[in-house]
Chain A
């Protein structure tokens, strides 16, 4: 497996990628747009992009992913895709009848420079329907950037400050996470009795139930009214800086809604931060139910600490998720020694901060000297692991090849997970999500210990 990967690291300076740890912007925009109720994402470009993005999202969620395309041909690429977009908009409303269309661009239409807002203005849009857009040049950022861009566009197109006083409600931007995570975050907000608007919200859309009937626009998704009303909230909690802070900043600029940017609530500390933020904003007691969950989590972590302590871990994936996972494994006493994301890291001081600096600070607190890289690839990660082996690998499905090559226990977390099911329904966020992660990690480590044990060391109790 991956036998062409050598231990010797030859410096690569081209900027090319071998075995990516990111993909392109539009897929993130498509996913975010699915989190608006009654929305059909539309890919403005050639068919291939849309087909790839639908295929990939379908495989991750195992649910229908509906999206349309401008189906460019060479003519459109030369003369511009205005006619394609206008025809598309007309046909979509007539044939599929969504409440709104969310257009995102592709590298083709970005390169030729189609002016989407102007094209939308001149398109035939039926009464009561809406078309929004975001620019998603694939040669900038990653799929996380695309998610962030579409989420910011929701603010641009909808959010308005219409009340003189801000309402006692909070906006929660969950970031590029699974519907199972969004449901868990909403459950926590409900327990905290905090009225909230979550956007985007793909729960009920890409985890829709089997009823014997296909619904092109399922029950879930943030409504347009909610997106508008987000401008009246007294606070926005942006979970995950890379996926969520941009939209939150925009909401602050446009509607004067202050922002609290927190980590994706993976693990006990990040979840505590979310709970504390809600507690402070709504001056409300933390209910016993949550406190009990937290106590259970601490109990579990303490009871099992000896499975984890001192074990070396490699973590890769999307920056917000990787940050959360790094903190979580550290809270278990593990040592994250290789930490990598494919997404570019951002500059220190920018709204998204710098992945490299932040992770360095995080692991530095435990005195760990780790390999850290943004805009990295899995070829690099694999070579790191060959040079400094680890006891556990955490990442998306693509990690399975490295895990097999190096015979390392592997825990699948993040996007995409293409070879296991149910994951998108189950949270990794919140106290209960952390319990699930602890179970997954200890399961992987102990299964390995059992597998490798001699008969006489193979024990009933562990």
Chain B
């Protein structure tokens, strides 16, 4: 199944020579015998290449801020950007006070030509006033799109003045689409803003429940977060805040009281996780609620962290009950999936997470990669010191936090911490590389051309990716599964999610529609058909 270096060269030969060399560094054929391999990531996509990547604004407003339900998110820019991030991501949310749920609203300053020429600050200020007057939100965010930075609107000053006028936090994010090389820059900008202005702004000093945790990098796509919450509350955890799926300003501001931070999507939220550790002494645990085994392992690691025998016992009880419940269903789907192969190319963490779930169904992932991840998401965080920042990422400001004099508290003794780190991924992420088999391929920022070529070579049975390449792949007669928005299904996380995913993937294989692709007249010669059926005419 594996491809050779020569075959890879042949694919790349189609590119202009400079691009050939560039793309080669983003593609790795797994060969762990010869030691750690290095992949290039988080560098700019060549102009003209049909990439799946989006922009910093998409990462900031679309991914991280958008799901916060009790804040009104204003997009400062022409209309498109706000419009495309309105309800398209399937991050679900519910609130007790129905009038404080803004998830189905899109607010834009809808900049016009005169705003571009004369500046849009006044208009932005007025839009903020109207939002307050109409919605009375607890807080507001303002996200900038491409032209804003260029014309020099000072959104920070506008936000600050509005805060004073209205007495509520107004957060400004300079996440213009040209910053960085992908959504990733926007995640970072959003993380900084939330850390700086929201987390810790609450007055709580101690959590209400036992085992207080935050769930980071969980966006509640298709209800994923709710399934995770179901399991965690059942075991007895107190979820203080979720970042940011079904999350709220109200919860987020007290996130500092947690004893542990769980990190689901490392790429989009690791900055906050790190800063929380520095500022409040709260370690983070890399978790993975995608797949039955990963969920079980995650639950056990969490119990291990708190070290309470009663919690461990309860964890095992819930695991045993859930596994017994879903196993028969999973078995039935495994029969359909066993022995198949997959490509898994998504986002910044799912390209890794879904490999385990595919594996449980008997599906081998032969090619995987991320759209906008960094080297550490592939190779593990030990490479962090080696990553050189280039001109494109240098302009994303780093936020430096210090120990909070009143609230910093070591949650574990340094000895205990060191001991645990040997056993569980505490404040560490190992990346996708170590989980991939010999001969499999890792591709960063996979593009349309390479997708077609790799499919021709490796002929996968299923392609897990996003909406933009879904129908390309299906036209080739190969089922394609959207792992960003789940093809309008879900949840896919946790125990119930695994079953949903297994069902949906099996459906993709078993659908009768694939059988109709070739019309009968293409398979039967015109003349012989007639002769056999009716004798010589």
Q: Which A residues are within 8 Å of any B CB, using their own CB?
A: 1-4, 6, 10, 12-20, 22-24, 26-27, 42, 45-49, 51-56, 58-59, 62-77, 84-85, 87-92, 94-96, 106-108, 110-112, 137-140, 142, 208, 210-215, 342, 379, 398, 401, 418
Report A297 CB to chain B, min CB distance, Å: 33
Besides the contacts A49-B80, A51-B58, A213-B476, what 19 more A-B pairs have beta carbons closer than 8 Å?
A: A3-B98, A3-B101, A13-B126, A17-B108, A17-B110, A18-B106, A20-B82, A23-B79, A24-B83, A55-B88, A66-B50, A70-B47, A73-B44, A74-B178, A91-B46, A96-B448, A139-B147, A342-B79, A401-B104
Q: What B residues does A342 contact at CB under 8 A? A: 79
> Does B358 sit at the interface, judged by CB under 8 A?
no
Check A20 against B108 for contact (C-beta < 8 Å): yes
> Does B77 sit at the interface, judged by CB under 8 A?
yes
Expressed in whole angstroms, the Cα–Cα distance for A216 and B323 within the complex equals 45
Report B458 CB to chain A, min CB distance, Å: 15
Q: Which residue of A lies closest to B371 (CB)?
A: A51
Task: Kindly identify which residue among B129, B181, B449 contacts A96, using a CB–CB cutoff of 8 Å.
Answer: B449
Q: What B residues does A54 contact at CB under 8 A? A: 468
How many interface residues does B have (CB within 8 Å)? 91
User: Given A71-B49, A73-B392, A138-B80, are A62 and B471 also a contact pair (CB < 8 Å)?
Assistant: yes
Report B348 CB to chain A, min CB distance, Å: 15
Check B472 against A214 for contact (C-beta < 8 Å): yes
Check B146 against A45 for contact (C-beta < 8 Å): yes
Report A207 CB to chain B, min CB distance, Å: 11
Check A16 against B475 for contact (C-beta < 8 Å): no
5 closest residue pairs by CB, A with B: A48-B55, A24-B80, A88-B48, A16-B127, A91-B48
Q: What B residues does A12 contact at CB under 8 A? A: 130, 134
Expressed in whole angstroms, the Cα–Cα distance for A111 and B149 within the complex equals 10
Q: What B residues does A42 contact at CB under 8 A? A: 48
> Does B135 sit at the interface, judged by CB under 8 A?
yes
Q: List 18 A-B contacts (CB under 8 A).
A: A2-B104, A13-B126, A14-B123, A15-B110, A15-B126, A16-B126, A42-B48, A47-B53, A54-B468, A55-B88, A55-B467, A59-B88, A66-B472, A71-B47, A91-B49, A108-B177, A138-B78, A139-B147
Check B181 against A73 for contact (C-beta < 8 Å): yes
Check B133 against A46 for contact (C-beta < 8 Å): no
Check B475 against A211 for contact (C-beta < 8 Å): yes
Report A455 CB to chain B, min CB distance, Å: 32
Check B54 against A48 for contact (C-beta < 8 Å): yes
Check A214 against B15 for contact (C-beta < 8 Å): no
Q: Which of B14, B111, B468 has the most CB of A within 10 A?
A: B468
> Does B300 sit at the interface, judged by CB under 8 A?
no
Q: What A residues does B133 contact at CB under 8 A? A: 10
Q: What A residues does B112 contact at CB under 8 A? A: 15, 139-140
Q: What A residues does B101 contact at CB under 8 A? A: 3-4
Check A94 against B14 for contact (C-beta < 8 Å): yes
Check A69 against B51 for contact (C-beta < 8 Å): yes
> Does B107 sit at the interface, judged by CB under 8 A?
yes
Check A140 against B113 for contact (C-beta < 8 Å): yes
Expressed in whole angstroms, the Cα–Cα distance for A112 and B116 within the complex equals 11
Task: Kindly identify which residue among A15, A48, A71, A210 contacts B81, using a CB–CB cutoff of 8 Å.
Answer: A48
- Interface digits, B438-476 against A, CB 8 Å rule (1 contact, 0 not)? 000000000011001000000000000011111111111
Q: Which residue of B lies closest to A404 (CB)?
A: B104
Q: What B residues does A14 contact at CB under 8 A? A: 109, 123, 126-127, 129-130
Interface residues of B in 127-144 (CB under 8 A from A): 127, 129-131, 133-135
Expressed in whole angstroms, the Cα–Cα distance for A3 and B119 within the complex equals 33
Check B55 against A111 for contact (C-beta < 8 Å): no
Check B105 against A18 for contact (C-beta < 8 Å): yes
Expressed in whole angstroms, the Cα–Cα distance for A12 and B99 within the complex equals 20
Task: Kindly identify which residue among A55, A67, A96 contacts B84, using a CB–CB cutoff of 8 Å.
Answer: A55
Q: What B residues does A1 contact at CB under 8 A? A: 104
Report A401 CB to chain B, min CB distance, Å: 5
Q: What B residues does A18 contact at CB under 8 A? A: 105-107, 131, 134
Expressed in whole angstroms, the Cα–Cα distance for A1 and B78 within the complex equals 26
> Does B214 sit at the interface, judged by CB under 8 A?
no
